[in-house]
Structure 1
Amino acid sequence: MTSAHHPRARAPRRLLVAAALLALVAGGLTAAGASVDPAPAVAATTASALVPRPDHVVVVVLENKNRTSVIGSAKAPYINALAARGANLSQSYGVTHPSQPNYVALFSGSQHGVTTNACRDLGAKPNLGSQLRADGLSFTGYAESLPSVGWTGCRKGEYERKHNPWVDFSNLPKSVNQPFSAFPRDYTELPTVSFVTPNMCHDMHDCSVATGDAWLKKNLDGYARWAMTHNSLLVVTFDENAGGTVNQIPTLLVGQKVRPGLYAEWTDHYTLLRTIEDAYGLAPLGAAARATPLRTIWTSAPKPRTGLSNAGFESRLSAWATSGRTTTSTNNVHGGDRSGRAGALTATRGDSILSQTFVVPAGRSRLTLWWQGRCSDTVGKAWATVVVKRNTSAKKSTLLPKTCVRKGAWKKVGVDVTPGHSYTLQLVNHDDGKSSTPNRTYFDDVTLR
């Protein structure tokens, strides 16, 4: 590979003024190819308080795989090794189908009316590359099998422009459109932000998960290891899943300022864009302005609490992270005055999740909780499930397998845990969105004994 010359990044010309913003994170789908309303997000503070500023960011986008086809799969040993030494995002989603509008959304904060994979020219609309360059920083996109620097054709061999969004914007010069062979061997020569798109085989679109995993290890492992000691960041994500309405995808981040673990923050392409923009003090574009940047994965974020907090939901949903479609506090209780509910009285398509990350105190070795189902469907379409994941090893235990109970009594489930280890507990209700069969699940009295 040969090194391409890139201007050295310098400090931005402006400071990002702190502005509290109550936001909604866009995510999920109502039907294949259609976006749904954003999910709830927390109020943002200053960018520097949430997102550290890396010297370099490399974003790798792979293709069309469900999270469960990659994370935990023996076919992807390298990606799983990366996930174990970085932030493994368990609630990450594409924004639509098919491929191209996801790439455009990730790069510019909007789909800009793109609904197909046909070549599009989007003019001088703002995008991450133009933002960085306007602020004295740098951007380059590296596309494997691109025939030549700046080539704007739609496809040739294993290269397809639909996976290369920076070509679509006229406010970026041809010099930012590089073949992957130009990716620098000297990582200090990387631009501020790079996007990498493997070709149609190595991105897992036309070839296997194992093929893409091996390519990633061969070509990006050097950078991944370097980033861990050089204030830099690697993001590996997918454009969309293999099909369907939920659109859950694998996403992980590795870098010096990333705290390894499993994280349940709701994430989609707008979340990732907002996170990068906040890192460099850039104004968020389009739907990224309504997204909350990733905030708990950094070494600067508060460490997980020891023991559970608000385990009986008496302080409503305080201390519980909420993601997905609908969560709330209710007076249908097992004990005390309040419980937590995932799902709603009306149909809500997708997962509704209550989660909490904690460290097991000394002398405690058993996690238990109570749940009550209100499932008016079949388990193939809707369900409740409870899982706990040990963040030090990514080992998952299922307290409650996928279950659909029409109207049952409160039931208790539990699992053994190890003192001193960090865990993430997820209380999940899944609903297929059919209006005649709404589904919800109540949870209460979570205990460490």
Structure 2
Amino acid sequence: MLIRKPVIASLLAGALALVGSVLAVDTGFSGTTTAAAAAAVPRPDHVVIVLFENKDYSTIIGSAGAPYLNSLAAQGASFTQSYGVTHPSQPNYLALFSGSQQGVTDDSCPKNFTGTANLGSQLLSAGYTFKGYSEALPSTGYTGCSSGTYQRKHAPWADFDNVPAASSVPFGTFPTDYGKLPTVSFVIPDMCDDMHDCAVGTGDTWLKNNLDGYAQWAKTHNSLLIATFDEDNFSSVNQIATVMVGEKVRPGSYAEQINHYSVLRTLEDAYGLAPLGSAAGATPITDVWTTSPPPTATPSPTGPASPSPSPTPVPGLVNGGFEYGTFTGWTRTGTTAIAAAPHSGAYAAAVGSTSPTNGDSVLTQTFTAPPGVTKLTLWWKGDCKDTVAYAWATVVVKHNTSGSTSTPLPRTCTANGSWQQVTDKLTPGHSYTVQLVNHDDNHPGDPGITWFDDLTLS
């Protein structure tokens, strides 16, 4: 949905101005500050980024099948709202490495880009160092599309002519003296150890056996480990696990929404590099560092993102089409995500999950109906594989001024895959609270998810 209302534009402008003022503060981190945003990101001596394949967030975080990754999440920053940017794998790797999917929409090989800027070329041009370490790569600089369990589609630096062949090396050359690592390294396990062809536990054990030494070293040597995934298991939600561990990382769970562009922007800010492509519009990760002010307490994933019991009504709905790409204006409970599966525009809200969840997941917003507004309209689409006795979607509107409650969408369980419209009558000047609800009973065989989009007032 396109954002048309002046009040929304005004609120967004105010928010952007506030962000700009915060980023302009000189926080005194080590390294030369080259831009206002960069001042909020410390500069590690070494960064190692390891990518795994095709697993959704709930398959990793909190799962007994990934004990080591969960131990890293406890030692560092664990992002509860981290997402891939598309499907399938290859464009996600390109997005993280170059700020763009480069027009790639599949996993075909080879891809060759001439003179196209990327993180590797940026680092090298700025006097830093870069290498990509790929397990099962047969030789340094190998440009073939595959060899045994190696796949070039997971090694994006091989696609760019401005990254030297010498920067693409077998993982067997990863140094045991971590002080000899490049400034930034990507580590790509093979098709088994990255969890693509083998179990989660296989990749989890590989990570522990091969990179725990670096992870522990990083915590005392101004360095950083980032463990993440390219995409989830091909759902429309595309939520993934992302964990950061290092000396300047403040342990905890962080609920801001991030994606591959956010991670790239953070690295570019750390080293004073100009943000590439979509990274220029991404917000760098600034709250996880010990060099930044402590964040306010983050509620658990099952609690409300904003705990205020009496929200102040705003004049009209904010972000009713979720086109900010965030949940600005909304309070969240349970499992929610911004999804690239809209009724219109670029985004919708996904409430619930393609994996089982327990109880209600809810998006809530309180607003005042502006003069002349008499109707709330919204669109929803369900994927409920159970019966309405155990799982459902519903929309509840509390008429705060009159004290009544309506349910424009009564409890419904359907998996027909079609967008459907519901409406509710409003009175100008009255206060309302709209709740978008997905309920699931946590049964392993029939998870439920509901998408909502295009909430408008007329």
Percent of matched pairs sharing the same residue: 51
1:436 CA drift (Å): 2.5
1:114 CA drift (Å): 1.1
Gaps (5+ residues) in structure 1? 1-21, 24-38, 331-341, 354-368, 383-400, 412-431, 444-449
Of the three residues 414, 428, 436, the one matched with 2:420 is: 436
Q: Residue 349 in 1 paired to residue 348 in 2? A: yes
Q: Distance in 2 between matches of 1:172 and 1:376?
A: 47
Contact 1:65 1:241 (C-alpha < 8 Å) held by counterparts? yes
Q: For 1:188-207, what aligned pairs fall within 5 Å after superposition?
A: 188-207=179-198
Q: Distance in 2 between matches of 1:278 and 1:352?
A: 33
Q: For 1:204-353, what aligned pairs fall within 5 Å after superposition?
A: 204-305=195-296, 312-314=310-312, 324-328=325-329, 349-351=348-350
Alignment CA distance shift 1:175-1:435 (3 Å): same
Aligned to 2:358: none
1:172 CA drift (Å): 1.2
CA RMSD of aligned residues (A): 3.9
1:302 CA drift (Å): 1.8
Alignment CA distance shift 1:167-1:220 (3 Å): same
Alignment CA distance shift 1:155-1:305 (3 Å): closer
TM-score using structure 1 length? 0.67
Q: Distance in 1 between matches of 2:156 and 2:18?
A: 27
Q: Distance in 2 between matches of 1:298 and 1:227?
A: 14
Q: Residue 154 in 1 paired to residue 155 in 2? A: no
Gaps (5+ residues) in structure 2? 1-11, 25-35, 299-305, 316-321, 332-337, 353-362, 367-375, 401-415, 425-432, 436-458
Q: Residue 110 in 1 paired to residue 100 in 2? A: yes
Contact 1:100 1:163 (C-alpha < 8 Å) held by counterparts? yes
Q: Distance in 1 between matches of 2:188 and 2:17?
A: 30
Matched to 2:243, the amino acid is L
Matched to 2:348, the amino acid is R
> Equivalent residue of 1:89, what SS?
strand
Q: Residue 98 in 1 paired to residue 88 in 2? A: yes
TM-score using structure 2 length? 0.66
Q: Residue 407 in 1 paired to residue 405 in 2? A: no
Contact 1:47 1:281 (C-alpha < 8 Å) held by counterparts? no
Contact 1:86 1:253 (C-alpha < 8 Å) held by counterparts? yes
Of the three residues 171, 174, 197, the one matched with 1:180 is: 171
Of the three residues 71, 85, 90, the one matched with 2:61 is: 71
> Equivalent residue of 2:264, what SS?
helix
Contact 2:57 2:232 (C-alpha < 8 Å) held by counterparts? yes
Residue by residue over 1:31-72, the C-alpha shift from the partner in whole angstroms, topping out at 9 and shown as x without a partner, is xxxxxxxx9994444234311110000000100000011111
Alignment CA distance shift 1:178-1:403 (3 Å): same
Aligned to 1:337: none
Larger radius of gyration: 2
Alignment CA distance shift 1:410-1:303 (3 Å): farther
1:116 CA drift (Å): 1.3
1:351 CA drift (Å): 3.8
Alignment CA distance shift 1:48-1:285 (3 Å): closer
Alignment CA distance shift 1:380-1:167 (3 Å): same
Alignment CA distance shift 1:309-1:255 (3 Å): same
Q: Distance in 1 between matches of 2:422 and 2:271?
A: 43
Residue by residue over 1:251-271, the C-alpha shift from the partner in whole angstroms, topping out at 9 and shown as x without a partner, is 110011111111011111100
> Equivalent residue of 1:406, what SS?
strand
Aligned length: 340
> Equivalent residue of 2:70, what SS?
helix
1:163 CA drift (Å): 0.3
Matched to 1:436, the amino acid is Q
Matched to 2:349, the amino acid is G
1:403 CA drift (Å): 6.0
Q: Distance in 1 between matches of 2:289 and 2:143?
A: 38
> Equivalent residue of 1:250, what SS?
strand
Contact 2:136 2:149 (C-alpha < 8 Å) held by counterparts? yes
Aligned to 1:362: none
Contact 1:132 1:138 (C-alpha < 8 Å) held by counterparts? yes
Residue by residue over 1:216-244, the C-alpha shift from the partner in whole angstroms, topping out at 9 and shown as x without a partner, is 00000000000011110000010011012
Matched to 1:103, the amino acid is Y
Q: For 1:120-135, what aligned pairs fall within 5 Å after superposition?
A: 120-135=111-126
1:407 CA drift (Å): 3.1
> Equivalent residue of 2:133, what SS?
strand
1:149 CA drift (Å): 0.6
Alignment CA distance shift 1:370-1:199 (3 Å): closer
> Equivalent residue of 1:245, what SS?
coil
Matched to 2:289, the amino acid is W
> Equivalent residue of 1:251, what SS?
strand
Residue by residue over 1:66-103, the C-alpha shift from the partner in whole angstroms, topping out at 9 and shown as x without a partner, is 00111111000000000011110011111111111110
Alignment CA distance shift 1:202-1:406 (3 Å): same
Q: Distance in 1 between matches of 2:205 and 2:423?
A: 41
